[in-house]
Structure 1
């Protein structure tokens, strides 16, 4: 272990500490995933840490040693739901690995989670598509295995190079007519007439989509909480593109969202969900195509879209394949019960 290891809680309003915390995180992620490392930018991460959220308490930790900042960690605690669990992150730049720094960080954060009454710990680790499918030999996967974290759900990271030609989009739209549904889309905040339905669908995304062995419950469907998240996105410089399919009664039958980062220029596919009673109508394909077309109209310089999907979600993976997404990595959603 490093000779003078100290683990400190990061003050989100201390720019020097946040910069050191973020730098350790970013270097570690890039070492593991290369150009396809999906990293929240410094400004985005700072804005999230500083948010006074009613739904999530976020903590950041910095490991300090003789060489300065030698590791970083995080803990997210739900305040309205999933009160039994905590989401833990540990990152150590490659030049400081195998010194016990990651283990010390993890033990410290797990103790904080237990003190908050949490007994299920969640974490993530990623590896490139060129690595073994089960992550064997990859540093994050092996670290997790040594500390009792098992894969609860395996996801594929996929990338779509933009633009996709209008001809391809039009051809695919012909296979998803969405008869009986009205398609609506917008840039920015969800319109007031749809926000309650949107928040309700978004809240059950993590439990309606494949969850594997993950021990989690639906998140808050409170409209005020949703608006607070939209305000965070605004402060982060992110732009949201939303599309819904409306059933004959005016309710949202399906929704999808793409978010563009003004910092790194990339687009990220966030939630896509079709209500159970409206499935098998190719609504998922239709709304994703409409959203892609809207993104290219309003943000023509966006170079690519990244997305994650559970490997078991064959339907959505098939939709993404038809759109032209290619696999760039794998993400393991990890879990440990204590």
Structure 2
């Protein structure tokens, strides 16, 4: 007779509790995606879970059978925006699947989300790039659909092997509308066509941080959203600085570039973040404000930021990024740079009222 399943909330300050949660989470991710699995490292996850955040309440859970961890779960609740929604995660290592573990974990975490007053549940699942775009036949998608989740937005996971030859970066910069291009890092460029490009390593300079935070807050709603029930975030400099402090605690290094418009405001921004644990770079936000679109600023700031990364950290082996499959323009740019598709990500959603 199979032993009963027990689900417990993890104490992030208990090293053993957190570690066994993480190992189950990582094993499940690698079972689905192999070497292309993008997994937050043990210490990055620990730092995030231990952060006293003003913007997000985070919880993790383990499913136990006979005292052994057979599944891992997570719940994230926004505290300042998207108060109707919850982000749920369920990960079960391959050897424990098809035994009711995932269903029990999901039901438990959904109940926690409902108790917190949330009515829209969001989740993610990944599968290989060669599989169908709708995830048909993939375990994560099939599991989600059986439990009432729909695919709200499909993304491509792409990888760029570094270094990109500087001549290629220069060629693409030359093709873009000729705003300013910095020749040294992190000095500002001489203005051309009215825009000034500024780059730096580390925290956002004080002169730009308020507008950076404002652009970053609307990134999720300015990018393709598909059928996602999502609201723009709340822009707050103190919250942004808290996120930077978390990055430092995680051993991550941020590379930022902005385009400054003639009116002195930030017209576009982009960010690459390098993990201190796995050594890879990850493309975070890129956005151009509405009134400055059509000038090639998004491409330009990404190229300048890439060049800075390679100059400052030449041993970073690769960059990973996600783009909505509907974002044809950005995917075309990534293809020209040499990005190759390594997986797909399904952003899932379930409404309960």
Whether TM-score is above 0.5 comes out as: yes
Question: 1:35 — aligned with what?
Answer: 35
Does residue 225 (structure 1) correspond to residue 239 (structure 2)? The answer is: yes
Check the 8 A contact 2:133/2:154 in 1, yes or no: no
Matched, 1:292 2:306: yes
With over 3 angstroms needed to count, the CA separation of the structure-2 counterparts of 1:240 and 1:2, relative to structure 1, is farther
Q: 1:91: which partner in 2?
A: 91
Q: Which of 270, 274, 277 pairs up with 1:256? A: 270
Q: Is the 8 A contact 1:240 1:257 kept in 2?
A: yes
Partner residue in 1 for 2:152: 152
1:278 aligns with 2:292: yes
State how far apart, in whole Å, the 2-side matches of 1:134 and 1:169 are.
Answer: 34
Could you tell me how far apart the structure 1 residues matched to 2:152 and 2:3 are? 35
Q: Residues 231-264 of structure 1: CA distance to partner in whole angstroms, max 9, x if unpaired?
A: 0000000000000000001101000000000100
Number of residue pairs matched? 338
Q: Does 1:11 align with 2:25?
A: no
- Which structure 2 residues correspond to residues 58-137 of structure 1 after superposition, within 5 A? 58-66=58-66, 68-137=68-137
User: Segments of 4+ in structure 1 off by > 6 A?
Assistant: none
Q: In the TM superposition, what is the alpha-carbon distance from 1:133 to its structure 2 partner?
A: 2.0
Q: Is the 8 A contact 1:2 1:100 kept in 2?
A: no
Residues in 1 aligned to 2:314 and 2:29: alpha-carbon distance in whole angstroms: 28
How big is the shift at 1:129? 0.7
Q: Give, in whole Å, the separation in 2 of the partners of 1:250 and 1:156.
A: 35
1:4 Cα deviation from its structure 2 partner: 2.4
Matched residues in 1 for 2:67 and 2:156: separation? 35
The equivalent residue for 2:189 is: none
Give the direction of change, closer, same or farther, for the CA distance of 1:2–1:168 in structure 2 (3 Å limit): farther
* Distance in structure 2 (CA, Å) of the matches to 1:12 and 1:87: 18
Greater Cα offset, 60-69 or 155-164: 60-69
Cα distance in structure 1, aligned partners of 2:123 and 2:173 = 37
Q: Note if contact 1:2-1:99 (Cα within 8 Å) is conserved in structure 2.
A: no
* TM-score relative to the length of structure 1: 0.99
The alpha carbon displacement at 1:318 in A equals 1.7
1:318 is aligned to: 332
Distance 1:36 1:284 in 2: 27
Gaps of 5+ in 2: 180-192
Aligned to 2:256: 242
Structure 2 residue 53 is matched with structure 1 residue 53: yes
Q: Which moved more, 1:158-167 or 1:2-11?
A: 2-11
Quick check: 1:205 aligned with 2:219?
yes
Note the alpha carbon deviations across 1:92-123, whole angstroms, 9 max, x for none. Answer: 00000000000000000000000000000000
Q: Could you tell me how far apart the structure 1 residues matched to 2:234 and 2:72 are?
A: 28
Query: Contact 2:202–2:255 (CA<8 Å) still a contact in 1?
Result: yes
For the Cα contact (< 8 Å) 1:2–1:101, is it kept in 2?
no
Query: 1: distance between equivalents of 2:292 and 2:329?
Result: 14
Residues 125-204 of structure 1 mapped to structure 2, 5 A cutoff: 125-176=125-176, 177-178=178-179, 179-204=193-218
Q: Per-residue deviation at 1:2?
A: 5.1
What is the CA distance between 1:67 and its match in structure 2? 6.1
Q: CA deviation at 1:15?
A: 0.5
Does the CA contact (< 8 Å) of 1:155 and 1:311 recur in 2?
yes
Distance in 1 of aligned mates of 2:218 and 2:195: 22
Q: Distance in 2 between matches of 1:316 and 1:183?
A: 20
C-alpha distance in structure 2 between counterparts of 1:103 and 1:331, whole Å:
21
Determine the C-alpha separation between the residues in 2 that align with 1:316 and 1:130. 20
User: How big is each residue's C-alpha offset from its partner over 1:147-179, in whole Å with a ceiling of 9 and x where there is no partner?
Assistant: 010011110100000000011111111012223
Any idea what SS the aligned residue of 2:143 has?
helix
Distance 1:320 1:197 in 2: 26
